[in-house]
A and B are shown apart, each in its own frame.
Chain A
Amino acid sequence: GDSVTQMEGPVTLSEEAFLTINCTYTATGYPSLFWYVQYPGEGLQLLLKATKADDKGSNKGFEATYRKETTSFHLEKGSVQVSDSAVYFCALSRRGVNKFYFGSGTKLNVKP
Chain B
Amino acid sequence: DTAVSQTPKYLVTQMGNDKSIKCEQNLGHDTMYWYKQDSKKFLKIMFSYNNKELIINETVPNRFSPKSPDKAHLNLHINSLELGDSAVYFCASSQKAGGEAFFGQGTRLTVV
Q: Which residues of A contact B (CB under 8 A)?
A: 32, 34, 36, 38, 42-46, 49, 87, 89, 93-100, 102, 104-105, 107
Contact = CB atoms under 8 A, between A and B. Distances in A.
B56 to A, nearest CB: 5
Interface of B: 4, 31, 33, 40-43, 45, 48-50, 55-56, 58, 90, 92, 96-106
Is chain B's interface secondary structure helix, strand, loop, or mixed overall? strand
A96 B103 contact: no
Contacts of B105: 42-43
B102 A46 contact: yes
B55 A45 contact: no
Contact of A43 (B42, B48, B96, B103): B103
A49 B98 CA distance: 12
Nearest to B102: A46
A87 B96 CA distance: 26
Given A44-B90, A105-B41, A99 B99 contact: no
Contacts of B41: 38, 87, 104-105, 107
A96 B100 contact: no
Specify which of A38, A43, A49, A95 lies most central, judged by the most chain B CB atoms within 10 Å of its CB: A43
A49 B102 CA distance: 13
A72 B92 CA distance: 25
A96 B97 contact: yes
B106 A43 contact: yes
A89 B43 contact: yes
